[in-house]
Amino acid sequence: MAGIVLTQRTKRDGPIAGNPDLARSLSRFALGLALTTVALMALGSATRVMNAGLSCPDWPLCYGTLLPHMNLQVFLEWFHRLVAASMGFGVITLVSVAVWRRRELPGWTPGAMAVALGLVLVQGLLGGLTVTELLRFDIVTAHLGTGLAFFCTLLAIGLALNPRDETATVSTPGALPWVGLTAAIGIYLQSLLGGLVASRWAVHQCFGTAQLCLVMNSHIAGVFPATLAVMAIVLWTRYQKKNIANLNPWLTRIAHSALLLLLTQIALGITTYRLRLQVEVLTVSHQMVGALLLGSLVAFTTVAWCDRAKVSSTAATPT
């Protein structure tokens, strides 16, 4: 009897869902919302670089109506709000289904969904304050930071809920989950610093009036620890692959993808800097590749932690 209870508890609390079909559906829904969040952040970045952030001077309506007279700038801000509202309803649907059918899902699911719901509510509040406080730089930066945290949460939920082949054998990834988590936190902080540079227009002010150069240079200096963190993941994964049998091949693939994204991000950063942020497409691309780099590290960490949990649950299950 104790063995049966232990096995059931492992299945409820671990990364493997009790209802694979439901878990697969929620996983796809969460990952779809995560991808939509990236698109929403790209739209927000485009709104900022096109100086359209206050094209709708009121909130939540735009010029007091749901469908204002459009030009390009008004459309960017209006469409950004429309997609954000749709995201909110999507998350409410996701959370509602997860709570309603929580007995068929891992025990951590309702709590993780509650975090996602809390983040989207905070994000909506910050979006409104961004307008009413006239693009105050600290609110704009917090808006970006919350959006990135929301994206990472949805991505982690989607990957953790993804049903895995129970017959496949994986080995514990050693310290890789901690390495991935450390790198993800570092890239997140670097992204926040980049958001601060953007919200304060630090590059323009440094070049134009020699002000806020410390903010800009701090972001540039942050490239070095970020590069070291990603390189540590790549090299450590390669080392583990050689020394540990049955290491999940997805860890190697994600690590290489993170390296490619890092190199792309550095190239975009250098080009954007040399052109003094005059090419809007490059500026938006720089922020989006940074978000994807952060996402790849969150994916790496999630997969590594799920593998660790699977090995632990297998060891705990009586034969």
Instruction: Note whether 298 and 155 are within 8 A (CB).
Output: yes
**Of 180, 143, 116, 115, the residue nearest 43 (C-alpha):** 143
Residues paired with 62 in a beta bridge: 65
Q: Which pLDDT score is estimated for 9?
A: 40
Task: Report helix, strand and coil shares of the chain as percent, to nearest 5.
Answer: 80, 0, 20
Identify the bridge partners of residue 65 per DSSP, sorted by sequence position: 62
pLDDT value at position 204? Answer: 78
Distances (CA, A) of 88 to 31, 212, 243: 15, 35, 45
- CA dihedral (99, 119, 162, 89) in degrees, to 10, reads 60
What is the tens place of the pLDDT at every residue in 234-289?
A: 998 888 877 776 788 899 999 999 999 999 999 999 998 888 777 889 889 999 99
Enumerate the H helices of 162-248 as residue ranges.
Answer: 176-199, 202-209, 213-221, 223-243
Token pair 């999507």 is found at 90
Residue 181: is its pLDDT beyond 70? yes
Decide: 215 and 196 in contact? Cβ < 8 Å: yes
Burial string for 45-79 (b: 16+ CB within 10 Å, else e) reads: bbbbbeebbebbeeeeebeeeeebeeeebbbbbbe
Q: What percent of the chain has pLDDT over 70?
A: 89
Instruction: Kindly report the number of other CB atoms within 10 A of residue 234's CB atom.
Output: 15
Cα–Cα distance measured from residue 40 to residue 84, given in angstroms and rounded to the nearest whole number: 7
* pLDDT tens track for 49-65: 888 888 999 998 899 99
What mean pLDDT value characterizes the chain? 86
Q: What's the pLDDT score for residue 291?
A: 96
One-letter amino acid for residue 234 of the chain: V
